[in-house]
Amino acid sequence: MKPGEHRVAVTGIGVVTPLGIGGPAFWEGVLSERRAVAPVTRFDTTGYRSRIAAQVDDFDPRDFLSAKRLHWTDRFAQFSIAAARLAIDDAAYHLNGDAADVGVYLGSALGGLAFADEQHDVFRASGLDAVRPLLALSVFGGAAACNVAIEFGLHGPTVANGNSCAAGAVAIGDAFRAIARGDVRAALAGGVEAPLSPLVYGAFTVIRSMSERNDDPPAASRPFDTDRDGFVMAEGAGILLLERLDDARARGAKVYGEVAGYGLTNDAHHMSAPRPDGMMNAAAMKRALDDAGVAPDEIDIVNAHGSATPLGDRCEALAMGRVFGARAGGLPVYATKGQHGHALGATGAWEAALSLFSIVHDVVPRSVNSEDVDTELGLAVTRARTKRPIRAVLSNSAGFGGINAALVFRNPGG
């Protein structure tokens, strides 16, 4: 952190996930080692190579939105508003009169494309007059962030990014920087994804990036496992309430942890394949560590991207080797996509939340479905839940287009 910058705390966690809605339910879902992957029921997958996903089946938007707002929002925006409300309530954060000093930073890989897919079918079947007017307000990438700003009267910067599967981590990093600089006093930051529609989901089956283990859905997502064959798509949202650490302490707020560092790079290599040597992923991690003033040997655990793609996991392991050297083989690495799947732009925010819960509870979860860890990767992927003091966590994210984002979280008292 540069001289004169503010330290940044996380005081609220709001999540909508296949393992549970709300931070405590999500954390307990991870610790229970339950797996939420099952056959897709949202649409007919006949003829698809992949037919499984991690759906959020217990979400009722009426629990979070008024009837009027329900009419003018799609599932993408509803997830965002719900997660934001949960984060605000969790932080016991009281918004001031015009909230001009509170920003919204949200990322999403696909935005409102699933709703557009649905309405395209309506258009083809019944003509333009049958299309919902809501469509024009839902498909642009900033729709979720703007809906959150409107819902809570937030007049600060409203920023959306489309940085693929790193989008949620990028949003948290950007909000962290804005608060540290003094642009805003607080921000809602994270990611949201509602990708489960026939064409949007199908596009990923065409490029064969998703697991085809349709006969055993719970075992399909296998981070760093020798039998990994692709990621499992998920839906949901994750939003954190970030604020100045001094402000949080002054109002007596609980503090989950401190956002201490952020690094962002691009492979500039390929749209769907990571750079084979992991160099730029490693550079993002190193930048985050340098930003935090934390040495590699001060990191207690790594929350890995662990997408369960054959090439992605290999390159991430190489990147960790570049950052941690010989220590990479003994540093606890955990990956939770085996349980909740990969919600693209939202997952980095879920993993940020889990990093913070690890710090609060001094617990490292088991990496479910990483049963036969690929020894060539040289990583100490967690085989069992462990209890240990945790001062600092590195959370790594990566996405299509070669985007790499890393965040460092630490115990603010450590």
224 torsion bin: left (phi>0), alpha (psi -120 to 50), beta (else): left
Assigned token pair, 168: 């949620």
First to last CA, the chain: 15
- Choosing from 146, 155, 342, 361, the catalytic residue is 342
29 torsion bin: left (phi>0), alpha (psi -120 to 50), beta (else): alpha
- Choosing from 120, 155, 165, 270, the catalytic residue is 165
Residue 305 is a catalytic residue = yes
Helix ranges (DSSP H) in 182-309? 198-206, 245-250, 279-292
- Choosing from 305, 315, 340, 361, the catalytic residue is 305
Give ∠ CA 176-181-184 in degrees, rounded to 5. Answer: 70
Closest CA to 395 of 299, 321, 291, 294: 299
Closest CA to 398 of 167, 233, 234, 108: 167
DSSP letter for each residue of 201-220: HHHHHHTT-B---TT-GGG-
Let me know: does 9 contact 244? Beta carbons within 8 Å. Answer: yes
Residue 146 is a catalytic residue = no
Residue 342 is a catalytic residue = yes
Let me know: does 279 contact 321? Beta carbons within 8 Å. Answer: no
Closest CA to 393 of 313, 266, 292: 292
Query: Per this entry, what is the length of the chain?
Result: 414
Place of tokens 């349980």: 339
Residue 143 to residues 4, 33, 99, 130, 157: CA-CA distances in angstroms?
A: 34, 34, 19, 22, 14
- Grouping H, G, I as helix, E, B as strand and the rest as coil, residue 196 is coil
Residues in contact with 370: Cβ distance below 8 Å, sequence separation at least 6, in sequence order: 222, 223, 224, 225, 306, 335, 338, 381, 382, 383
Closest CA to 199 of 42, 36, 401, 398: 42
- Phi first, then psi, for residue 111 (nearest 5°) are 55, -135
Catalytically active residues, by annotation: 165, 305, 342
